[in-house]
Amino acid sequence: MTVRPLTSLSEDERIFQSAVLDYARNKVGPRVHAMDEAAKIDADLIPGLFELGLMGVEVPEALGGAGGQFFDAILAVEALATVDPSVSVFVDVQNTLVNNALLRWGTADLQKRYLPKMCSEWVGSYCLSEASSGSDAFALKTRADRVDGGWKLSGTKLWITNGAEASLYIVLANVAPEKGYKGITAFVVERDFAGFTVGKKEDKLGIRASSTTELLLDGVFVPDANVLGEVGVGYKIAIETLNEGRIGIGAQMIGLAQGAFDYAMKYMLERQQFGRPIAEFQGLEFQYAQVATEIEAARLMVYNAARLKDAGQPFVKEAAMAKLFSSQVAERAASLAIEFLGGVGFTKEYPVEKFFRDAKIGKIYEGTSNMQLSTIGKLLRKAYSSRK
């Protein structure tokens, strides 16, 4: 009997992953340092991401997409992150947050109007966070007031990924603050809607080429047709979308960890001290054997969560665990990679210091590690309480 490992891929999945890796290494790789220094993604890369189908992985072919599965998007995010986590999260947000929300909650009209553009030219952004709304995701101050034919949005969004490049934004606002989270509604906003402005871009520690901006909404008119889902169910859209998005962050983190590890292993096999490669010294051997094991374990968790999602099975606990653990592994792998390289690992001439800076965000965005632990704890209590 042949047993297929959970991390094994089908032939189509291997071909797809290989194509993404080739693009990442040949097209993205030479630009990574310059993009990090400029804190901006190279615009010349973006058309290639569309041409490869990476900006519309799950969108049906009839709407211009690749017609793939969620797992395919996860493979793409992981592969890109082995070279540049900034480009990886650029693709991740497009697929796991924006396109997924339109596919799950959008009307036929919204999907027909926007998804073909999302697969060919438009970048998307998901806009939930505010100054008072972080881990307390539903403490929104952004208002949506009813007017003839639609709504007027007013407020400020912060920490918005892809904010600088996006043409389409899914904006969460509250139509009835007195109802609390039951007033939260999702709106599909185009960049050129009157009153909508992209504000300052954050100067960040890591994933610097990925834009993180504020958004200013000054009475932005959004027609009724651009309400995503139903009025008052935005909280549900946010929860379900972020649950899926966490698997994407997990994929980014395992790709990052693998990229740092691959570079460190190559270096340790070439670098000689006392007449032999430093990889042969037990003091290093035990450390890289341990971290390689942790990367593989994290990959199993991420792949398992993605497969469960595609199969229509419960995956929230698995997604939280995958994000939690993969972000821990990524930080540890990148940190050790610097130590494995020694002094040169601490310089910007080598890529591992960037992987180390990029890794930190994994424990913060799309739900901090503490929030993942809280989710896991609640689900465990529920499961054990139901046992006879």
% residues pLDDT > 90 (the chain): 96
Residue 173 has what pLDDT?
Answer: 98
Predicted TM-score of the model (pTM): 0.96
Q: Which residues are catalytic?
A: 366
Top-level class of domain 125-233: mainly beta
pLDDT surpassing 60 at residue 2:
no
Looking at residue 188, what is its pLDDT?
98
pLDDT of residue 1: 46
CATH for 236-385 is 1.20.140.10
C-alpha atoms less than 13 angstroms from C-alpha of 354 in its C-beta half-sphere: 23
Least reliable range by pLDDT among 1-15, 195-209, 271-285: 1-15
> Does pLDDT of 386 surpass 60?
yes
pLDDT band at 34 (very low <50, low <70, confident <90, very high): very high
Yes or no: say if 110 and 118 are a contact pair by the CB < 8 Å rule.
no
Give the whole-angstrom CA distance, residue 216 versus residue 34: 29
Mean pLDDT, rounded, of the chain: 97
pLDDT digits (tens, 9 = 90+) for 281-309: 999 999 999 999 999 999 999 999 999 99
**At which residue do the structure tokens 């792998």 appear?**
333
Closest Cα partner for 28 from 89, 92, 81?
A: 81
Residue (of 134, 196, 202) closest to 168 by Cα position: 196
Distance in angstroms (rounded) separating the CA atoms of residues 352 and 258: 11
Are 111 and 102 within 8 A, CB to CB? yes
For 195-224, how does the pLDDT look when each residue is reduced to its tens digit (9 = 90+)? 999 999 999 999 999 999 999 999 999 999
For the chain, the domains span 11-123, 125-233, 236-385
Residue 137 has pLDDT above 90, yes or no: no
The reply to whether CATH 1.10.540.10 applies to domain 11-123 is yes
Query: Nearest to residue 194, comparing CAs of 144, 164, 153?
Result: 153
- CA–CA distance, 265 with 278 (Å, rounded to integer): 10
The arithmetic mean of pLDDT across residues 332-349, rounded, is 97
Distance CA 288, CA 371 (A): 29
Q: Residue 25: what pLDDT?
A: 98
Beta bridge partners of residue 273, listed in sequence order? 276
